[in-house]
Amino acid sequence: MSYEPDFLYDAGPTGCGELIMNLFLTMKKLESGQIIEVISYDPGAREDLPAWCRMQKHTLLERSDSGKTSHYFIEKG
């Protein structure tokens, strides 16, 4: 399934701590129900982002991987 994001955040090779902090600050600007697409080249994000979504009560709608690049569609809770 494909989602139409309200915001795109390209995290590039940013590691876990910095990626999560930047995403946290970006999500604060969004309204509940809006969707953000996160692009990450950090393999650790594949485990970190789903866990972070659960803790923050956001919904991970979809994750797709293409080589070393992952796309995450997250709905703000």
Residue among 7, 16, 41, 62 flagged as catalytic = 16
42 contacts 13 by C-beta, under 8 angstroms: yes
Is 53 one of the annotated active-site residues of the chain? no
Rounded to whole angstroms, the Cα distance separating 12 from 4 reads: 20
Helix intervals (H) in 1-77? 16-28, 45-56
Instruction: Show which residues are catalytic.
Output: 16
